Each structure stands twice: as structure tokens, then as C-alpha cells.
Chain A
Amino acid sequence: MTDIWAGLEAAFWLIVTLDSDLVEITLRSLQVSVTALVFASLIALPFGTWLAIRRFRYRRTAIAVLNALMGLPPVVVGLIVYLLLSRSGPFGVFGLLFTPTAMIIAQVIIITPLIASITHQAMRELWAEYHDLLISLNTTKRQRIMTLIWDGRRALLTAALAGFGRAIGEVGAIMIVGGNIDHATRVLTTAIALETGKGDFALALGLGFVLIALALAVNILIHSLSRTEQEGRW
């Protein structure tokens, strides 16, 4: 019990004094996950929307594959990315293993299916709702897509936030491909794992609070997005 209290107190001071390790690790976490989010969104938002609107022969298959990819265990993604990037692997020459870039690649692979799937779901619903009206108004293809993107913007943002939430809290894959190297690839989740193992609960708890705060912020944003929808704001 005293251990926990001492840890909580120390964690509190680490946060209020902006401990340099804590800040560095937090910023790296954000940098990796936000970069991964940007790339994943650039792929997943258009792809999910396209899947929702476009009818083509292997659409069902594509959706099934997408859902299967969403269920990939992150550790396995980490292992595969590790093999691809390791010195003897096909992309070994780039020397990316144990760099933030490797972690970004792993996170992009993990969250792209998630974002695409949520996007697809939301856009399919919207398209079913709007279809007859947009056809009747003789809209061009471009106008239809713009209308769906604009009216589905909250859903798209929600999908992206969900992806970010998954990325920032992920530990298995980035531990494998990043290596949790101090001042290089150590991020919130891997640092917590390490410090806990070492028995340094102060830093572990401090980082834990930061992680919880980030996760909460994401959920509050998602929640308030659905409120602006209902109230017709934004």
C-alpha cells in the first residue's frame, strides 16, 4: 500500500514539474501515433468511402478481408514487420528496424483496417439514406461524394480518433519493431512496461496517467462529436 501511495505522489510531482524523461517519452508517443494516424487516414478514409459507394465484383470479399485484418493480433503484425525490416529481410537495406519509422509502419498496418472499417460502416449507412435523393436530384458523381464526405465528416473524424486511440495504447508490435530504446524508440506504453518490470512505479504511474488522459480526451472528443451532430452544430 505504501509503495502505491509513494508511487502516486512521485508520479504527481513528475507530471507537475514536467519531468524531462516523461515529456520526451510523451512527445515521441504522440509523434509516432499522430504520424501513423495521418498515413492510415489517407489510406483508410477514401478506401472505406469507396467501398461503401462502389459496387464491384469482389466487394463482399474485400469487406471480409478488411474485417479479418482488423482482428490481426498486433504482436503478429510486429513480428511480420520485424521480419520484413530485419537485416536479412526484403527491406533490410533501409536499416529501419528499431527506429520510430518502423513503429509508424507497424501502427499504420494495425489501425488502417480499423479506420477503414468504421468509415465503411458509417458511409454505407449514409449512402443508403441519401441514395434516392441524390439520384433524383441528378447529382454528378463528384457532387455525391462531396455530399457524403461533408455530411459524414463527424463519422470520419470518429473513425480517425478510434484509430488514434488504438495506436497510442498499443504495446506489443512497437515493442518488437522499436526495441524500446532509451532516447530513441521508447514511448508511453513500452516505457510503462519496462518501468513496471524494474519496480519504478513512479515513472510508470506518471506515464500511465498521461496515457489515460490522452485516451479520455479521445473518448470525450468522440462523444462530443455525436452531440454536435444531434444539435445540428458544426
Chain B
Amino acid sequence: MSLALSKGVVKRRGKVILGPVDLALNAPDITIILGPNGAGKTTLLRVLHGVERLSSGALTLSKPDAQARQEQAYVFQSPIMLRRTVRANLAYPLELIGTAKPVIAQRVETWAERIGLADALDRHAPRLSGGEKQKLALARALIREPDVLFLDEPCANLDGRSTREIETLLKDAHLRGTQIIMTTHDLGQARRMASDVVFLLGGKVHERGAAGRFFVTPETPEAQAFLNGDIIE
């Protein structure tokens, strides 16, 4: 699915927190949105997914809106667990679209296996550990086999092992044809995952380019400073 944002602006209490942003994203990339805290990464991601209203500008999708939303999934920075079992959390997105019960049961098993929670299906999801919650949120997002997956800092607060597991799941999903758009402020993760980089600064797209080029020869001094690990505003 291709997504195009044109002159997108988001204001909060009269203050511009994002934009104006012109940005086109195409399958089958792994797009990483980079930038310091407060740059507007989360806001941009929510705008692209359509859960954040634009104050002005337009988002154009290559599919009709209703269908597009059905084929997108979003993993929030702090995982939102339904107050239900792991099994019920995994089944939920499928139940919403009326998937047949046996199909749901089988996909729930498959995904629980993939995220290493096959033995925890009957546990209460809000009582899982942070890493388990994040993996569950990811599996719940992938269970409808979305065209596009948005992730907001999926590995913030996770240890190395959980981070690796999540990156593996993401690469698998990408191989199966899911377009991935994620934010991170973990440069290592960006280097490992990105094929396409959007560098945000002060609510604007400061630099945009293929990962291979961006990480080696960034065009702007700010991007260079960010890659060096310097503190930038």
C-alpha cells in the first residue's frame, strides 16, 4: 500500500507540533522514522495510520479508506493489553472481522508458538512481563496479516534478547509481504532494520533517503550529529 502525506500539519493548543510534512511511503520498504525526543515521530506515525487528525493537509492512500484501515495494524509504544487472557487478546482482532472460529483457534496457536507464549495462553495478559506484553501486542497486530504495520518504539525498555526476538518477527513479517513503518531512537536497531530512513527534526522531515546512503553519508550536519550521538535540538 502506498501512503502519501501532503502538507500535513498537526496543531495542539494552537502550536504546530508536526509539519508541514510531505512524505510518500511505498511497499515493500522497512521505513524507520528517526529523530530526537519530541521531534514528532509518534505524531507522524499516528497521522499515517489515521488515528491522529490533521489540522490541515491530506493523507492519500492507494486503497479506499475503510479497506486500508482494515489492512493496517499499529503497535503502540506502551502495549495496550485487553483485560483478558493471552488467547483472547490474540483472537480479538480476528473476532472483530468475523473470522471463523476454527481458523481463529488455529492462528492463535500458531502465533502463540511464534512468540514463545504457547504455554501462557490462559494467563491474564495484563500480568505478563514487559517483553511478553510487547511480543503479544506485536503478534496481535500481525495476526490479521496486515499490509502495513506501524510500530512506535517497539523495543524501548526491552532487553537485548527481547529486542532480537522482536526484530526477527518483524523481518519475518516483512518477508511475508508486510510493509513496516516504525519509529525508534535506537540507532543500532535502525541500522539493522532500515531500508528507508525518514529523519525528523522539530516536526519537519529534515532528511529522507535510502538507509545504505543515509547511514554512510548523511546530507545535513544535523543528521550527521545525530548519527554521531551528539545532542541536537
Contacts and interface: CB of A to CB of B under 8 A. Distances in A.
Interface residues of B, number: 21
B123 interface: yes
Interface in B56-108: 66, 69-70, 73-74, 76, 80, 82-85, 92-93, 96
A229 B82 CA distance: 12
Given A132-B76, A138-B70, A230 B96 contact: no
Q: What size tier do the contact residues of chain A reach?
A: 10 to 19
A162 B70 CA distance: 41
Given A136-B74, A139-B96, A231-B124, 15 more contacts: A132-B76, A132-B80, A133-B82, A136-B51, A136-B76, A137-B93, A143-B96, A147-B82, A151-B83, A229-B83, A230-B124, A232-B122, A232-B123, A232-B124, A232-B127
Contacts, number: 40
A230 B127 contact: yes
Contacts of A129: 80
A129 B92 CA distance: 16
A233 to B, nearest CB: 9
A63 B76 CA distance: 30
Interface in A217-233: 229-232
A133 B70 contact: no
B124 A130 contact: no
13 contacts: A126-B83, A132-B80, A133-B76, A136-B73, A138-B69, A138-B96, A143-B96, A151-B82, A151-B83, A230-B124, A232-B85, A232-B122, A232-B127
Contacts of A65: none
B132 to A, nearest CB: 14
Interface of B: 49, 51, 66, 69-70, 73-74, 76, 80, 82-85, 92-93, 96, 122-125, 127
Interface in A104-133: 126, 129-130, 132-133
A135 B51 contact: yes
A152 to B, nearest CB: 8
Q: Is the interface of B mostly helix, strand, loop or mixed?
A: mixed
Nearest to B71: A138
Given A136-B74, A138-B69, A230-B127, A130 B96 contact: no
Contacts of A138: 66, 69-70, 96
A68 B92 CA distance: 39
Nearest to B83: A151
Contacts of B125: 232
A151 B96 contact: no
B123 A132 contact: no
A87 to B, nearest CB: 52
Interface in A128-161: 129-130, 132-133, 135-139, 143, 147, 151
B8 to A, nearest CB: 19
Q: What are the 8 closest A-B residue pairs judged by CB atoms, nearest first?
A: A232-B124, A133-B80, A136-B74, A138-B69, A151-B83, A135-B51, A137-B93, A136-B51
A140 to B, nearest CB: 8
Contacts of A143: 96
Contacts of A231: 124
Contacts of B80: 129-130, 132-133
